[in-house]
A and B are shown apart, each in its own frame.
Chain A
């Protein structure tokens, strides 16, 4: 299990989610970024989080001093593309920060471009983690999981920068994401159980894991219950959701079975 990759993927997606929330709020509620200081605070937090994600990613390398070389194989390697798009996303956040501070007229379009580049980075991550060696993930599931992480954590942490009476859009996005997350996370292991031998092993590992049930109850169950009762995002909930997403990602790295473990046995 690679803890640095768990941190990189979850934090990177959280940062993307926070910028996407800014785009959605601007579009849906006609909020102009840069007018409120709390909105630039959200932008700064997204920047710090993606910086932490990129720093964390370096620690899984055997030779971090040569990490810059990871950009040379853009023609076929999704890992090269993932790093490129996350770096681009980070650079756009820095540029966007100054645009917001100076109330530049281009800040609106800059925020949108940053959100789109962030989403492309998340798709690239999904492609990296869907190799043929993991039949359970050799499909669109990683992209879908990663997008869910972005929307859950993005809407949850964006609530720190929005007054309670203006949280309705974020609450709506968070509830929708948690409902989808709960259904998908309950359903997917059962689909794995109907697949080949290695997929079945993955499905059994998920259903048999305490971490899986803990995450369903602690992240999706508790999250939906709290949001249903309070109709707002309490300050402690994003931390619980972050812990749940980290747990979910740890499971992806530790419970999904590789085809090579089954050599000599029927597939």
Chain B
């Protein structure tokens, strides 16, 4: 398998602090309302406990990206060397077709530039040997950068509740599910 970078999110470690989303905002200063990374809380149907569990979501840099396929102006490219899906804003004409078509709701409309935009997996930082801003900022290491060509964690899954399943698109993200909460009791004297 060719090198394919993606995110790994460990819901057991994630505390829902939103530092990843804020780090993204700090790095790129997106317009108000434009969000490249978001933290969603798992519903009670999925995690029926008093504690909460989260998923941190951004672009999945899919193997077969819908955005790239549907864009009429070829604004999207997938890098050969690491599989990162990049949106070239100079080419974008703001038709919104990628925004409508991505099943993960990743591309967003920039109301000032009147163009689409999305998470770039901080490819400039990657090329400089750094981690993406969100990964670097995560205080619990719940969010990590992985290469699917070498990633081999049997507890990780792509098909997770609360995340739409599209095998053909093959999103480059892996999750570790939250564990059941533990009851810690003081020993009786």
Q: Which residues of A contact B (CB under 8 A)?
A: 2, 60-64, 66-67, 69-73, 76-80, 83, 128, 131-134, 198, 258-267
Q: How large is the interface on B (under 10, 10 to 19, 20 to 34, 35 or more residues)?
A: 35 or more
Assembled-state Cα–Cα distance A207/B91 (Å): 40
Assembled-state Cα–Cα distance A70/B102 (Å): 18
The binding surface of chain B is classed by DSSP as loop
Which residues of chain B are within 8 angstroms of A267 by Cβ–Cβ distance?
161-165
Residue interface mask B109-140, A partner, CB < 8 A = 1: 10001110000000000000000000000000
Q: Is the CB of B94 within 8 A of A63?
A: yes
Q: Which residues of B contact A (CB under 8 A)?
A: 40-43, 45-46, 55, 57, 66, 68-74, 91-97, 100-106, 109, 113-115, 161-166, 168-169
Q: Is the CB of A78 within 8 A of B70?
A: yes
Q: Is the CB of A263 within 8 A of B105?
A: yes
Known contacts A70-B93, A265-B43, A265-B46: A77-B71 contact under CB 8 Å: yes
> Can you report 30 A-B residue pairs in the complex whose CB atoms are below 8 A from each other?
A60-B95, A61-B93, A62-B93, A62-B109, A63-B92, A63-B94, A69-B72, A70-B95, A77-B97, A78-B70, A79-B72, A79-B97, A131-B100, A131-B103, A132-B66, A132-B166, A132-B168, A133-B100, A133-B102, A133-B103, A134-B100, A260-B104, A262-B164, A263-B163, A264-B42, A265-B45, A265-B46, A266-B162, A267-B162, A267-B165
Q: Is the CB of A60 within 8 A of B72?
A: no
The binding surface of chain A is classed by DSSP as loop
Which residues of chain A are within 8 angstroms of B162 by Cβ–Cβ distance?
262-267
Question: CB within 8 A of A260: which of B97, B103, B115?
Answer: B103
